[in-house]
Amino acid sequence: MMKLSILDQSPVSEGSTPAEALAETASLAIEADRLGYHRFWVSEHHAARGLAGSSPEVLMAHLAAVTSRIRIGSGAVLLPHYSAYKVAENFRVLEALYPGRIDLGLGRAAGGGALAARALQENRTGGGAELYELQIQDLLSYLYGAPDQSHRFAGLETSPQVSTAPELWLLGSSRESAALAARLGTGYAYARFINSAGGSMAVRSFRNSFRPSPAASAPQALVSVFAVCAETSAEADRLAASMDLSLVQLEKGHVSTGTPSVETALGYKYTPYDRFRIEDNRRRMVLGSPDEVRRQFTALMEEYQCEEIMFATLVHRYEDKLKSLRLIAEVCGLRGGAGVN
């Protein structure tokens, strides 16, 4: 049986509101729990009108409360904006409330424009790759023990004291992020929905150079993609038109007012270059009927030699997203996935 998980960015659909988007994320998590998905991760974006998820820790607390089995995580907490100590305590609280169900996914993207980044990092100094690696090392100390005597905060305790710890994952889309995850001994989530080139080599290098740590004794990897499943490949292709236009507008730097409807997307006046970008962006997606999606997932797991596929479904109508999740669960044989409507 495949191990499948979901990334939800709480997209705001055209004609909808951010509050409705967050409510749909919660409903989706409940259904994913029922269907037998393994994880449900939520993202962090700032000053983004088209995405409602700005605080994954807060949203995770709600999602964990309304589900019972599925692992709940961040995809990702953008660590350079914050104190590693505060992040550790946030996630220790979540772990104390929902032991064995919490994932801490980390990233270093800005998650918004330059103005938002400045506001998030006000009064902070330093930065860059070296600080990011140090922050992750600090998190390992805070979550899986305590800072040793050589640490600048030797003797510091992290509250609350609990007997379990969140799973620690590093998210990335390059060989550099894979090497960092391997060096520090975390899980590695390759964002194929961001970069479809070179991912299998990145995951392979992660496995080959992995060093065990208090967070993980063996390498653990997943690959994340965009996915849309429908009764027919033609219908999946039609639904993906909303994602095509969203990505084109994002690349042009247009301020998104929400995931466009299929009708808006099909009526948009695309330039020849837009068409080229749509074709290229489709490489980051898994689209099709249930059997087609299952075959593509199987091929990805073989290509990446990974244990798990995570996917995000960026379509306009919540009902179509829900149907996609149910069709995938059924065709891939997830626990509870058979026979759902």
Cα–Cα distance for residue pair 57/47, rounded to 1 Å: 17
Contact 180, 106 (CB under 8 A): no
DSSP letter for 79, please: G
Q: How far apart are CA 256 and CA 14, in angstroms?
A: 9
| pLDDT surpassing 60 at residue 292 | yes
Q: For residue range 116-161, what is the model confidence (pLDDT) as tens digits?
A: 988 998 877 666 778 999 999 999 999 998 788 888 999 898 999 9
pLDDT at 73: 98
For residue 341, the model assigns a pLDDT of: 43
The pLDDT tens digits of the residues spanning 159-192 come to 999 999 999 999 999 999 999 999 999 999 999 9
Q: What is the mean pLDDT of residues 309-315?
A: 98
Predicted confidence at residue 339, as pLDDT, reads 44
Q: How far apart are CA 331 and CA 1, in angstroms?
A: 10
Domains and CATH numbers, the chain: 4-227+289-331 (3.20.20.30)
Kindly report the pTM of this predicted structure. Answer: 0.95
290-304 vs 318-331: helix crossing angle, rounded to 10: 70
Q: Helix or strand or coil: residue 295? A: helix
Phi-psi region of 80 (alpha: psi -120 to 50; beta: other; left: phi over 0): alpha
Residue 86 belongs to what H/E stretch? helix 84-97
Question: Tell me: the pLDDT tens digits for 273-285?
Answer: 999 999 999 999 9
Give the separation between CA 36 and CA 333, rounded to whole angstroms: 9
Mean pLDDT of the chain: 94
Query: What pLDDT was estimated at residue 130?
Result: 83
Q: Reply yes or no on whether the pLDDT at 304 is more than 90.
A: yes
Mean pLDDT of 28-55: 96
- Predicted local distance difference test score (pLDDT) of residue 128: 75
DSSP single-letter state for residue 11:
B
pLDDT score for 256: 67
The pLDDT value recorded for residue 147 is: 85
Instruction: Tell me the pLDDT band of 340, cut-offs 50, 70 and 90.
Output: very low
Looking at residue 338, what is its pLDDT? Answer: 45
Local confidence band at 208 (pLDDT 50, 70, 90 cut-offs): very high
Look up tokens 């709600």; give the residue: 62
> Are 70 and 325 in contact, with CB atoms under 8 Å apart?
no
pLDDT, one tens digit per residue, over 217-258 is: 999 999 999 999 999 999 999 999 999 999 999 998 876 678
